[in-house]
Structure 1
């Protein structure tokens, strides 16, 4: 039977989604790059298709969940551009974007109507992808729904290496607000938006209970039985971080999730860090 649901970039989150779809009687196909990733999917009972998105276009049709990130350089997403140019026979598409498209909001609460003001090239690539897909969907009559996702945590996804290295964080009083979503809730939310979302809509996919970056690292350290990271003033903390790591410290926002909760009717398994972190051991 030819698959009618394709998960492009089927890593950890994609596998969680695929397994949920299987339990609902669907037969999704995961699109991955490496033979190791393909074997991992097949070992889990998921059909796999290998494709190098930098040079090929996946034969995706019907329903597509695009979880593949853009390349790590540049300000556009040529992978999405190549896919759209191939004019695939897609009816519905879920695109996993990032809450980074909003840029720095100085800690304000924002919903999906907030303007996209990316501060980093990483976020600019996502804005480009969203705009290319929106234009294509409008022209071709595609049912496109966008997920704007913040930091993902879950089993195997905690910052253990960073904590063991003693990398500093910003002192709590000056620490930026950060938003999180548990990996299992992200997988469930993606399918909820697929089933009940509206065409042309974006959805913030977070737990709705943001905390500061310092709070997150402190909680993880306590959970793992590790020393809490040094809490320093911003300029001192910056000296011990890479440019990429620091870019996350320069953005502060709190994501409203009314649309996910009220429009989709989504209910979180892990509505806050306290409940979600307990599942990570």
Structure 2
């Protein structure tokens, strides 16, 4: 039976999710803020419904009736919460709510864990404003889901890589990295595999609650930059001490150096059973070169 799903935030990852849903025979809708976006969606076989998360009045006409709502749109770049998510959820018609909401959050909600392995049982301790907004959104969605009896799936996602999502320009510019012995652990997931996890979260009837998402093979951030450089035949970036990095790197870059964790993805593997095409960085980067 054909069912309808709605993707809010139908960019790179959303388009990949849409392809999976369409291949499964579902009807896919995407929220569009402009006629140009609607045309782009139509070219991918995605129906468009008009709406702008920053203009709650534009959401008043939503009719609902979707089996799954994928909320992949980020929060605003300032503030303490996610008014976009709140505006969408509160605009949904009471009698026609989705069966499940799949929300992409960030592994940054855990904050710095000193390189520990981190399961979903770890108490969130977000350190950046960006992560605090995601944690606030998680709490909002959880409360809303309980109030309405709707299943909420929260995916805590680390760095996403793939074609067009690699730090090649930074490497070419010679921006330094931290010496490997001081470099934090980082986690990552290929864009195609993140879409597969989203799809599995929607399809598995028992999927509910919070899941860590990654390929399950964390390395240091410096190792990641070195391996990207090596794969693309670029010179490895220079290495400096963490103390020097704090003097010369931008606050945005430093925010990623101040947190170290290794994500335990056991729950994702057991319950979602996603089909990971790129279970490690070596296979994922090889696919990027050939893309």
1:84 maps to which residue?
A: 89
SS of the residue aligned with 1:280? helix
2:105 maps to which residue?
A: 97
Q: Give the alignment partner of residue 272 of structure 1, picking from 257, 280, 283.
A: 280
Structure 1 residue 35, shift from structure 2 partner: 4.1
- Note closer, same or farther for the CA distance 1:32–1:221 as it changes in structure 2 (3 Å cut): farther
1:226 maps to which residue?
A: 234
Worse overlay, 33-42 or 258-267: 33-42
The number of equivalent residue pairs is 280
Distance 1:38 1:230 in 2: 44
Worse overlay, 164-173 or 210-219: 164-173
Q: Give the alignment partner of residue 75 of structure 1, picking from 71, 76, 80.
A: 80
- Note closer, same or farther for the CA distance 1:132–1:61 as it changes in structure 2 (3 Å cut): farther
CA contact (8 A) 1:4 1:28 kept: yes
Within 5 Å, which residues of 2 pair with 1:50-65?
A: 50-56=50-56, 58=59, 59=62, 60-62=64-66, 63-65=68-70
Distance 1:122 1:73 in 2: 8
1:172 maps to which residue?
A: 180
TM-score, reference length from structure 1: 0.94
CA contact (8 A) 1:33 1:52 kept: yes
SS of the residue aligned with 2:211? strand
Within 5 Å, which residues of 2 pair with 1:226-245?
A: 226-245=234-253
CA contact (8 A) 2:207 2:271 kept: no
SS of the residue aligned with 1:279? helix
Distance 1:101 1:144 in 2: 17
CA contact (8 A) 1:134 1:200 kept: no
- Note closer, same or farther for the CA distance 1:124–1:226 as it changes in structure 2 (3 Å cut): same
Worse overlay, 38-47 or 12-21: 38-47
* Structure 2 runs not aligned, ≥5 long: none
CA contact (8 A) 2:201 2:207 kept: no
SS of the residue aligned with 1:28? strand
Distance 1:225 1:114 in 2: 39
- Note closer, same or farther for the CA distance 1:240–1:38 as it changes in structure 2 (3 Å cut): farther
Within 5 Å, which residues of 2 pair with 1:1-281?
A: 4-56=4-56, 58=59, 59=62, 60-62=64-66, 63-88=68-93, 89-196=97-204, 198=206, 200-281=208-289
- Note closer, same or farther for the CA distance 1:277–1:66 as it changes in structure 2 (3 Å cut): same
- Note closer, same or farther for the CA distance 1:30–1:212 as it changes in structure 2 (3 Å cut): same
Deviations, residues 152-203 of structure 1 (Å, cap 9, x unaligned): 0011111112112211111100000000000111101111111116364111
* Structure 1 runs not aligned, ≥5 long: none
CA contact (8 A) 1:105 1:253 kept: yes
- Note closer, same or farther for the CA distance 1:34–1:166 as it changes in structure 2 (3 Å cut): farther
